[in-house]
Structures are given as C-alpha cells and as structure tokens.
Structure 1
Amino acid sequence: MGCNLAFAALVQSEVENIIGKTAKDFFPEHIANENVIIDKKVLKDFKTLSSEFILHPNSNQMKHILLNKTAYKNIDGSVGGIVCVMDDITQLVQQKQFLIQQNKLAEMGDMIAAIAHQWNEPLVELSAQVQDIQTSYLLGELKDANVQDFVNDSMIQIQYMSKTLSDFRNFLKSSRRKKLFSISKALNEINEIIGRQVFYLNIIMSFNYENKNEEILIYGYENEFKQVLLNIINNAKHKLKDMQKDENTQKYKIDINIKRCDLHNQIEICDNGKSIDENIIDDIFNPYFTTKKNGTGLGLYMAKIIIEDKMQGSINVKNMDEKVIFTIKIPHKIGMI
C-alpha cells in the first residue's frame, strides 16, 4: 500500500509507516474484508467501484468516507494495481441529515394543521352534545336513555379523534426497510389525511387507475413514499386555494393517475392551476428553492432524494395543456414482472 499525506492524516499515521502495509492494518476487520471483495471485483471487471463506510479515527470522531477504486495497467498491458481515492464526505452527510430534520419539522407543522382540521368537526359535535345534555338536565327532562345515547355518541367522536392521531403518528414514522406495499392502500391513507381539506376548499380530487381490477404493488419505503405524494398534493392544494381568491368560476382539480408499465409503476399527480414558470421549473427540486412566502424549499428536494436515491426511481415535472404534471416512476422489484 502506498498513500499521500491526506490518507496518512485520516488514519492518524505517517506515510513511511503505511507504505507496504494493507487495509487490515488501519481499518476494522469488516471494512478491510469488504475492501478485499471490492478489490477482486475491480481487478476482474476493470470497472470503477464505489462504496461508503464509517470510520472512527479515535473515540471522539466519526467520519463518513466515500471510496472509489479503479484498476490500472502497465505499459505492457499487465495489471499494475489499484488506485483508491477516498473522500471525507462527513460534512455532506451531516448537511443532508440536517435538511432531512428541517423537512420533518415542516411536515409536522402541516400535520398539526391537518389534525386541527380533522378534529374540528368532532369537537363541534361533542360541544353540541354536551350542551344538549346540560339543557335536558336543567329542564328536568334528562332520562337514562339520553345519558346512554350521549355516552355512545361521544365515544364514537372520541374514537375517531384517537384514530386520527394514530394515523398521523404512523404517517410520520420512517420506514426501517424496503417492502412490498399496495399503492391503493397508500393512496387511501393519504385521502384520509387530506381528503376533507381538499373537499372543503371545493377542489375535486380523483384517483384514477388504468386497470381498476389490478392490485399494483410497489417495492420501497412506504411511509416516505406517502410523504412524497402528500407533499406534492399539498403544494397543489395550496396553489389552487390561492387562485380561488381571484377566480371563483373555474373548477379546480387534482388528478392522481396510476398505471402499471412494462418496467415500472407510474403515478402522475396533475392539477389544473397555474403553470410553473419555465425559467424556474428546472430548479424546483433544488434545496431551499421555494416560491411560497413561508416555504422551506425542502419538500420537493426530499421527494427527489426519497424517490431517486432511496427507491431507485425517478421524479420529474412538466407543464402540459394548462396543467402541472408530476410523474413518479418506481421500477418493479426483480421477480415481480
């Protein structure tokens, strides 16, 4: 093994003490063994391979390392060895984690607003029932049957409120591993959360399946996927709500179109509100980019990370026929086609 000063600093040693040694002398056994496997693949295929690992130079430090390895040949065509480039990406990882946390806080704010909206109706109903029971008592008309009806009706409202809290709590949980899940079930849960808000804003939201009899399964992180869809639908809802202040005649719609393609499942989210300015449409997935007054500019950035980095899919947006269309494609799991 040979190295430069940067590598020597990373492993907290001197260059002369590193030359001639192997990865096992400087890295934990599991990292060294993984590198041996990578080396064999690099020498066999002559392709550059990348990997990431966490290194603890000392008890007070933790570094995220990006490793790129490629083989090289001598002038005579024989294998000369492997060149390894290591980058300390700790700061980038920390920045991404910070952005994720910021986005989570923004999502929680939206969720709290949604909970308040969902609870409004049962709270009004409970208030009316309490007033009715009080009036009956003051008038001397309160009967055992009235009390039992009050208890039964109140418990229905309380159970609904409890279920709402449970739904929102589950929605915000991070999925620990990839799994197969039903897209129709995911969309039904999204509708439970945002459907009433959309309805009260006189926005028509529809879920359109190309084949209504086919159960479409997606392989990935279920809760994160639902958060992506909810974020896009929420953005459309806010935009259409603002437009209603100026135009009361147009019927505003959010259409979610779902179909199974040969290589992937596709979800389109379309709204018939104002088109996105073509000068900025390529920037909307960038971190901190927002056109909303109090927006964080993180929702669509996180959507891109979830769909493309975590689920190996794609997400894009375009204007078409006075509509804004977000298209998400998630590849089929191997063995499902």
Structure 2
Amino acid sequence: MPEAAPLTSAARTREAALHGQRTPPRAPAPLPRKRGLRALLRGIVTTARPKQWVKNILVIAAPAAAGRLFSIHALLQLALVFALFTACAAAVYLINDARDVEADRAHPTKRHRPVAAGQVPVPVAYGVGGVLAVLAPVVAAWLTSPLVAALLTAYIGMQLAYCVCLKHVLVVDLAVVTTGFLMRAMAGGLALGIPLSRWFLITTGFGALFMVSAKRYSEAVQMAGKAGATRALLTEYTTGYLRFVWQLAAGVAVLGYCLWALEEGSAPHTGLLPWRQLSVVAFILAILRYAVFADRGTAGEPEDVVLRDRALAVIGMVWLAMYGLAVANW
C-alpha cells in the first residue's frame, strides 16, 4: 500500500479535536540568530558593555592627584592602561555571559544579550574572553610595568571568582566591586611610578563603596515586593543595612579627603588662594548632592546620576577647577 502523506499542523489539530485530545502547547519561538562576521563582531562588542568603559577613566585619578598628566609619555601610558583595563573587563563580561547563558535565556531582559540570543556562540565568547584575559597582563608586563601586569591579573582573578561564587556572599560582593574601582584608580599611579598616598586610597576606596552601596540600596528600594525580579542577594540585604553602609562610606570618604587636603595644604604655597583646602567644600557638596538620589532610591546607575543632574555636574566642574588650580599652584 502507498505510504500515507504526513499530516499538516492544521490536520493534526482537527484530528486531535475529533478524538477529544488537547492540542499540545507550542514552544516559544527561539530568538532569531544573526549570522555573519559583522554581526558576530558587533555582538562581541555589545557583550563587552561599552557603556561601562567610562569607569576605566579612573586610571587617571592618581596621576591627576600628583599633577603628572601634562606629558606625552604619561598620556600614552594612561591611554594604554585604559585600553588594557577595558580588555580585562571585556574578558570578564564575555566569560560571565557564556557561563550564565542558560539562566540569561530564561530572563525577560537578559535573553536579548548577544550570547543568550545566539548572536555570539558560547565557545566564541569563552575563546575571546580567554584570549583577552591572557593577553592584557602580558602586554602590560611588556609595555608598562610588572606591577600593572600583576594588578590586572589580580583583577581578572577576583572578577571571575565574583562571577562564579563571590557575588552570592553577603558583604563580600560589595567589597569585590569596590576593590575593582580601587584597582582602576591605582593602575595609573603604578604605571607612572607615582607613590599612592594613604589618604588617596582611603578616599577613593570609600568613595567607591559609597556609590556601590547606594546603587544596591536603590535597587533594593525599587525592587521591594518583587521577589525574583533582580539579583537574589538583594533579598538578603535589608534597606536599613544598605543605608547604613552608604552613609558610613560617605562619612569616611569625606573625612579622608579633608585630612588629605589639610595635610597637603600645610606646605607653603604661592597661589592666590588655598585651592586645595577650598576644594573640600565642593567635594562635600558633591557627596551631599549624590546622597539625595541615594536616599530617594534613584542612584541605580551612577553614571546616569552624574551625567544627567545639572547641579551635580556644575559642582563637579567647580571641584575639578579648584583641584586643577591647587595642582598648578596658582
């Protein structure tokens, strides 16, 4: 007998209805997979989070504090360190997205990330991330200094440990993210052989903790009552505890900056005004202004707060001007 032609989907539906059977639900359609080398490269760049690259500008912090920005050698070294830190961060993002691909595909927003959407294959993400993670410290050891190479290696190791397990450990997750910012601020000084002041490290470290804990507090406030809508660790923090952390960090950062300004400003100067001491006023105003958004629970994205608030931007420009005048001894 001739073999029966296969039933179409519509025919199968009618057949199931005639026999009183329930039609099986359709599986959700997979996200379209973009192909081609250009789409792959675009996906890799997107996975590297270009918006986050602005954080790496912190590499100029120590040279700026020491007044060592005004030479071709310094600018070239800082540009190289910026690029190397960007490569390290990109490596971590690629490996993290490859590792979390299944969880991201089940997430309503993260499923659109290039790795989860299939635009960047998982082996490619692992491969590119691994190459960047190895290449960046090697280039740093060759073109900058062994200390910078060691710092980048430690940064990559710490961030990968964060992706695997440390992001699920209370308090430690805050310390790891804060240390990442502090490492960026240290890298420029190590590349140029600039001694790092204890007050610089204290101010930078606790300033970073202030912004990190304010971000966590804002996320906790906005996601209150929405269990599972954000990172699981937030449900283990209380908003009262996170408020205590960012308030404590802000106080220590201000204290560290004041002690630094007064200590450095105690030396004789020939400038018109004691700009270094006066910059304390602008620094405290900036902290107080940022704390307004932290207290409201709207400091979820620090770069957006800094760039979108006009008053904060003006205060920041005034502080930069005062600090520049102090460095130039005008």
More strand by share: 1
As a proportion of its length, which structure holds more helix?
Answer: 2
TM-score normalised according to structure 2 size = 0.27
Based on CA coordinates, which of the two structures has the bigger radius of gyration?
1
Structure scoring higher RCO (CA < 8 A, sep ≥ 6) equals: 2
